[in-house]
Amino acid sequence: MSRPLHRGVSGGGRLSVNGPDFWDDSQMKDKIEKEDLERNRSPGDQTYSPTKFLCRILFPDNSPSKHNLGENGLLSDPFSPGTGRNRLKYTLVLIRLSLVGIILLALTGSFWWTISITSSSRGHIYHGYRQLQEQVVSDLRDIGQLSLGAANVKDIEYCPPESENFIPCFNVSENLDLGLSKGEEVDRHCGPGSRQNCLVLPPVNYKIPLRWPTGRDVIWHANVNITAQEVLSSGSMTKRLMMLEEEQISFRSDSAMFDSIEDYSHQIAEMIGLRNESNFVRAGVRTILDIGCGYGSFGAHLFSSQLLTMCVANYEASGSQVQLTLERGLPAMIGSFNSKQLPYPSLSFDMIHCAECHVDWDQKDGIFLVEVDRLLRPGGYFVWTSTVTNTQRSVRNKVSLKKWNFVRNFAESMCWELLPQQDETVVWKKTSLKKCYFARRPGVGPSICSKGQDIESPYYRPLQACIAGTQSRRWIPIEERTKWPSRAKLNSSELKIHGNGVCYLKLLLRIPLTGIQQLTIIGHFFHL
Question: What whole-number distance in Å separates Cα of residue 254 and Cα of residue 276?
Answer: 21
Q: Looking at the predicted structure, is the pLDDT value of residue 336 above 90?
A: no
The pLDDT > 90 percentage for the chain reads 25
For residue 100, the model assigns a pLDDT of 84
Residue 75 has pLDDT above 50, yes or no: no
Q: In angstroms, rounded to a whole number, what is the distance separating the alpha carbons of residues 279 and 139?
A: 55
**Residue 188, pLDDT score:** 78
Dist. CA 338–CA 315, nearest whole Å:
11
List, in order, residues 6 or more apart from 470 with CB less than 8 Å away: 434, 437, 448, 449, 454
For 158, other C-beta atoms within 10 Å of its C-beta total 11
Whether 278 and 288 have beta carbons less than 8 Å apart is answered as: no
Give the pLDDT band (50/70/90) at residue 329: very high
The CA distance from 452 to 460, in Å, is 16
Q: Sorting pLDDT into bands at 50, 70 and 90, what band is 413? A: very high
Q: What is the DSSP letter of 460?
A: S
More confident residue, 493 or 431: 431
pLDDT of 238 > 60? The answer is no
pLDDT in tens, 308-323: 999 998 877 666 788 8
Q: Which residue did the predictor score with more confidence, 274 or 498?
A: 274
Check if the beta carbon of residue 321 is closer than 8 Å to that of residue 226.
Answer: no
Segments in 11-121 forming alpha helices (H): 20-41, 45-58, 81-119
Lowest mean pLDDT among 12-16, 306-310, 446-450, 452-456: 12-16
**What SS3 state is found at 427?**
strand
Can you give the pLDDT at residue 525?
A: 41
Q: Which residue has the higher pLDDT, 75 or 296?
A: 296
Q: Please say if the pLDDT value at position 8 is more than 80.
A: no
Q: For strand 287-291 and strand 349-355, is the pairing parallel, antiparallel, or unpaired? A: parallel
User: Does 340 score more than 80 pLDDT?
Assistant: yes
pLDDT at site 259: 54
| Residue-wise DSSP of 244-300 | EETTEEE---SSHHHHHHHHHHHHHHHHHT-SSGGGTTTTT--EEEEET-TTSHHHH
For every residue of 288-334, DSSP letters joined together read EEEET-TTSHHHHHHGGGT-EEEEEE---SS-HHHHHHHHTT--EEE
12 by Cβ neighbours in 10 Å (0-12 / 13-18 / 19+) ranks as exposed
The pLDDT of residue 54: 41
**CB-neighbour burial class of residue 169 (10 A; exposed 0-12, middle 13-18, buried 19+):** middle
Q: What phi, psi does 300 have (nearest 5°)? A: -65, -35
Report pLDDT for 223. 87
Q: In angstroms, what CA-CA distances link 344 with 291, 349, 375, 459?
A: 14, 9, 7, 7
- The mean per-residue pLDDT over the stretch 46-53 comes to 45
CA-only gyration radius of the chain, Å: 45
For residues 273 and 267, give the distance between their C-alpha atoms in angstroms, rounded to a whole number: 10
pLDDT of residue 468: 93
Give 524's pLDDT tier (boundaries 50, 70, 90).
very low
- Which pLDDT score is estimated for 120? 53
Looking at per-residue pLDDT, the higher value among 233 and 465 belongs to 465
